[in-house]
A and B are shown apart, each in its own frame.
Chain A
C-alpha cells in the first residue's frame, strides 16, 4: 500500500458546552450528573405553548470566543430551526444558527514541533444541546433524560486545513486552551463539555480538489480523536488503493474496537428544512458591547507565555508547563503575588505539586493547597526556618488537609534546628554510635560524610539544617 502518495484533509466541528448557569433558552440549571429530568422545565420539554428566551451570557461568551480568534462578530444574530425527529430532541427541532452565525471567519495558530501553522475557522454559532438517549438501561425500551436538552453549545467549525491526526489533536488542544482561558467552558471532555466530529477525506498529493469526505462522530477525548482519524485515514486509503470510491456518510467511532462504522439510521432523512426561528426576533449586537468584551478579554495562552518569559525570565519549557491550563497559570501568578522568586515558584509547582496532582489524578483546583501555601513554603525554606525535606513533608500535609502553615510547622515540629548547640549534641550522639565509620571518614573516606548528615537528619526527622550539620562535621574532623 502506497500510503505516501495520499494526503489527508481534515476539518473539525467542535461542540463546546458554555459554562452558563442556565440553558440557552430557559432558566433551567445545567449541573452535570443530576437525577434524570430534574433539570428539564416545561420549556426544555417543549410543552405546548412554551417559548424560548435567549440567555444574555451565551451571547457574551460567544463574542469572547470570536474576539479570541480574531473573527468578525456578526452585528445581527439570527436563529433557525433545524428539523428532525429524535426522542432526545423534545420540540422536533433544534434551535441553531444557519445564516449570520454570531462568530464569522477567524484563525488560530498551532505549534507543530518548532513550526507554527495557522488553522482557519469558518464560523462558530450558538445552538441548543439535545438530551440523552440511553439504550442499555432497560431491557425492552430506551430511556430519555432531557437534563442536557437546551444547554448552550458553541459549535466551532474549522476549515479543512488539518493534514494529520496529530494536527487535529493539536488544534483541538488549542481550542480547549482558548475556551478554558476565556472561562467560557470547563472544557471537560469526559463529561461531554467538549465534543468533536471530524470530517476526513483523502486526495493525492498535489491535487487541489477535495476528495469525498466522511464525518466521524462521537470522538470525545484527545486520544480518541487521534485514533479515530488515523483509523479512518487508513481505511480510506485501503479503499482508494483498491480502486473503490469513498461513500459520503456519517461514521461512528467505536473506541472499544478502535474502528469506525457506518451510521445508516441517520442517512435516510437528513433534509433538515432550516428556516428562521419565528419565536425569536433577530438580535442586534451593538458595536459597543463587542468593544467592551474585547477590551476586557482575559489574557490568552500565547500572550501569557510571552509575558511570563519576559517578566519572570522563565525558560520556554517552564513557561509551557505553567500555561498548560488556566488554573496553573493563575496559581503561578497567585504564588508570585506573595513576593517570592519565580524560579522557586516554578520548582514547587512543576516539581512538588504536579507530582502530587498526577499521583492523585486531581487538578490544581481540586487540591487543598493555595498559592499562599506555596509562597509560605518558599519563604520558610529561603530563610532556613525549615529544611528541604521538611518543606516536602509540609507540602504533602497541606495537600492532604490544607491549613495554616505556621501552625503545621509547630505542630509537626518541622522547624529547622539551626541552633549549633542542639545540632552538635545530636551529631555527637551519631559519632558515638558510629565510631568505626567516623575513623574511616577521618582517614579520607569522603563519601561517608553524607552518611553522617543523613543520620542526623534521621534523628531530627529532617529538621536539622544540612548546612549546619556539614559545618559542624567539618569542625569535628579538623580537630
Chain B
C-alpha cells in the first residue's frame, strides 16, 4: 500500500475514479508516511481523525458519482494559510495558539473541490528564511539527506512532497520561498503571476511580493493544482479579474517556445556544477526544437538589494498588528502599555523576523527613506522594464533556481550569505511574473533546479515548457 503515495496526482485521481483504491486507503497511506517520517519535522499540525473521516465522505461521493476535481486527494497546506477553527502558527511563537476564526481562499477552494487536508506544514517564521531554520517549531530536515536544509520558507511543504507525505502541498513565495525549496528537495514548485492566487487568509510577509503557489511531484500535477487555486477573489484587491488559463490542456499543447537566456548572468555563475547543469538543461530543450535567444537583463543584479529594502519595509508594517492585545502572544510581564508592546513583540518574534523588522523600519525612517525605500522602488521599475523588453523577444526566460545545491543545516550564519540564496528567484517577485522550478540534475547526491519565468499570466506556457522538459528527462522522478 505504501506504493500509493508514490503515484502522481493524476495517477491517484485515475485510481480513485476506477476504484483501484479508496480515498481512505490513500489517506491512510499518507498518514503512515507522516508518522514514520515524523523526524523530518515537516508538519506543525496533522489532522489524522478528520482526514480519515473526510476520506470516507470522499469515497461515498465517488461511489455516488459526485466526484469533484480533487475528490479524495490528501494534501497539505503551508501553515501560513488560515483554516477556520484550526491553529495557524506561521512558524512563530507569536501565533503558537492562534486558532483562526476564518479560512483562507486557497484553503476554501481546495476544500470545496474535494481535497482532504492532512495537516499544516512547517515553515520559516513568517516565511522569512531560506533554510527552514527560523521556525519556532524547529527546523525541517531534507528528506534526501537529513544533514541538509530543505530550503525555505516553504521547506515543510517541499520536504513533505519529496517524502511522499502528501499528494501536493501549497506554499507561498515572496522572494523564492516555493522555488528554492523545490530545487533543494528535487520537486516541482510554481509561483504564479502576482494576483493570480488570492492572498485572503494567507498571512502577509510582504504584500506586494507575496504569492501563493504549489509544490508537487511534477509539472502536470502542479498544473492541475494551480488551476484549482487560481482566479479572481473579491476579498483581495490585488487579485486579478482575468480568466484562468486551461493549464491542464495547455501543458500538452504544441507550443512554439522561444527561450531567453540572460547570457551575462549565466556567464557570471561561479559554481561550475550549477553552470554546467544549466547549460545541459538548455541543450536538452534546444535539441527538442526550443529556440534559444540571448537576452539582456541589465539591472537584474540589483534585484537582491532592492528586495531586501522593499520586503523588510512592507514586513515592518505588516507585523505591527502583533501587539498582544486582540490575538497572538501576550506577555505576562507588562504593567504598562509600552511594556505590553515591547515584551509581547520581543518575546513573540524570533531573531530573523526582528532583523527584518529592524531593517524595514530603518529604511522607511526619516532621513533614510529616499536613499533606501524610494531608490529600491525605482530599481524595481528598471527590473520590470528589463523583463518587459525581454518578453517582446522571447516567450519564456530560463535561469538556475539557486546558486548552489542545498547546504548543510547550520552551515550559514551570515544573514547576507543566506539572503544571497534568493538571487535568482527574487526578480520574478519584483516584477510579479510567474516562475516555475523543476529538477534539472544531481550534484553530490543533492538536486539542482532550473527555473522558467513567464510573461504576465503566462503560467500555461511555462508549465508546458516544464512538462516538455520532464517528458525528456527523469530528474523529477524519485522513490
> Direct contact between A and B in the complex (CB less than 8 angstroms)?
yes
A-to-B contact residues, CB < 8 Å: 42, 45-54, 81, 83, 85, 87, 90-93, 142, 144, 271, 273, 275, 278-281
27 contacts between A and B (CB under 8 A): A45-B327, A47-B101, A47-B321, A48-B88, A48-B204, A48-B327, A49-B88, A49-B199, A49-B201, A49-B202, A49-B203, A50-B201, A51-B236, A51-B238, A53-B237, A83-B317, A83-B320, A85-B320, A91-B317, A91-B321, A271-B365, A275-B314, A275-B373, A278-B207, A278-B314, A279-B237, A280-B238
Are A273 and B361 in contact, CB atoms less than 8 angstroms apart? yes
With both chains docked as a complex, state the minimum distance between the C-beta of B126 and any C-beta of chain A, in angstroms: 9
CA gap between A50 and B201 in the complex, in Å: 6
Which of B104, B237, B323 is close to A87, meaning CB atoms less than 8 Å apart?
Answer: B323
Are B321 and A48 in contact, CB atoms less than 8 angstroms apart? yes
With both chains docked as a complex, state the minimum distance between the C-beta of A36 and any C-beta of chain B, in angstroms: 13
CA gap between A306 and B331 in the complex, in Å: 64
At the interface, yes or no: B366 with Cβ under 8 Å from chain A?
Answer: yes
With both chains docked as a complex, state the minimum distance between the C-beta of B408 and any C-beta of chain A, in angstroms: 32
Which of A91, A142, A275 is close to B320, meaning CB atoms less than 8 Å apart?
Answer: A91
CA gap between A275 and B317 in the complex, in Å: 10
Are A275 and B313 in contact, CB atoms less than 8 angstroms apart? yes
Query: Contacts A92-B317, A92-B323 known; A48 to B237 CB distance under 8 Å?
Result: no
Are B317 and A48 in contact, CB atoms less than 8 angstroms apart? no
Are B320 and A54 in contact, CB atoms less than 8 angstroms apart? no
Are A42 and B341 in contact, CB atoms less than 8 angstroms apart? no
**In the complex, what residues of B have CB within 8 A of residue A83's CB?**
316-317, 320, 364
Are A281 and B95 in contact, CB atoms less than 8 angstroms apart? no
Among A45, A54, A91, A279, find the residue whose CB has the most chain B CB atoms closer than 10 A: A279
With both chains docked as a complex, state the minimum distance between the C-beta of A341 and any C-beta of chain B, in angstroms: 54
**In the complex, what residues of A have CB within 8 A of residue B438's CB?**
none
Among B88, B95, B206, B208, find the residue whose CB has the most chain A CB atoms closer than 10 A: B208
Question: How many residues on chain B are close to A (CB under 8 Å)?
Answer: 44
Extra contacts, 14 of them, besides A48-B90, A271-B365 (Cβ < 8 A), are A45-B326, A81-B317, A83-B316, A83-B364, A85-B320, A85-B323, A91-B317, A91-B321, A92-B321, A278-B208, A279-B238, A280-B237, A281-B237, A281-B238
Identity of the chain A residue whose Cβ is nearest the Cβ of B238 in the assembled complex = A281
**In the complex, what residues of A have CB within 8 A of residue B88's CB?**
48-49
CA gap between A81 and B202 in the complex, in Å: 20
**Which residues, 76 to 109 on B, are CB-close (under 8 Å) to A?**
81-82, 88, 90, 95, 98, 100-102, 104
At the interface, yes or no: B325 with Cβ under 8 Å from chain A?
Answer: yes
**In the complex, what residues of A have CB within 8 A of residue B206's CB?**
278
With both chains docked as a complex, state the minimum distance between the C-beta of A356 and any C-beta of chain B, in angstroms: 47
Query: Contacts A90-B326, A273-B361 known; A51 to B317 CB distance under 8 Å?
Result: no
Binary A-proximity of B283-316 (CB < 8 A = 1, otherwise 0) = 0000000000000000000000000000001101
Are B317 and A271 in contact, CB atoms less than 8 angstroms apart? no
- Mostly, the B contact residues are loop
**In the complex, what residues of A have CB within 8 A of residue B98's CB?**
48
CA gap between A49 and B82 in the complex, in Å: 7
Are A92 and B320 in contact, CB atoms less than 8 angstroms apart? yes
**In the complex, what residues of A have CB within 8 A of residue B416's CB?**
none
Among B237, B313, B328, find the residue whose CB has the most chain A CB atoms closer than 10 A: B237
At the interface, yes or no: B235 with Cβ under 8 Å from chain A?
Answer: yes
Are B234 and A53 in contact, CB atoms less than 8 angstroms apart? yes
Binary A-proximity of B30-59 (CB < 8 A = 1, otherwise 0) = 000000000000000000000000000000
Among B234, B236, B323, find the residue whose CB has the most chain A CB atoms closer than 10 A: B323
With both chains docked as a complex, state the minimum distance between the C-beta of B337 and any C-beta of chain A, in angstroms: 7
With both chains docked as a complex, state the minimum distance between the C-beta of B196 and any C-beta of chain A, in angstroms: 14
Are B327 and A47 in contact, CB atoms less than 8 angstroms apart? yes
CA gap between A279 and B200 in the complex, in Å: 11
**In the complex, what residues of B have CB within 8 A of residue A142's CB?**
337
CA gap between A59 and B43 in the complex, in Å: 45
Identity of the chain B residue whose Cβ is nearest the Cβ of A27 in the assembled complex = B235
Closest 10 CB pairs of A and B: A92-B320, A278-B207, A278-B208, A273-B364, A46-B321, A49-B201, A48-B203, A49-B203, A91-B321, A271-B366
CA gap between A280 and B202 in the complex, in Å: 16
**In the complex, what residues of A have CB within 8 A of residue B200's CB?**
49-51
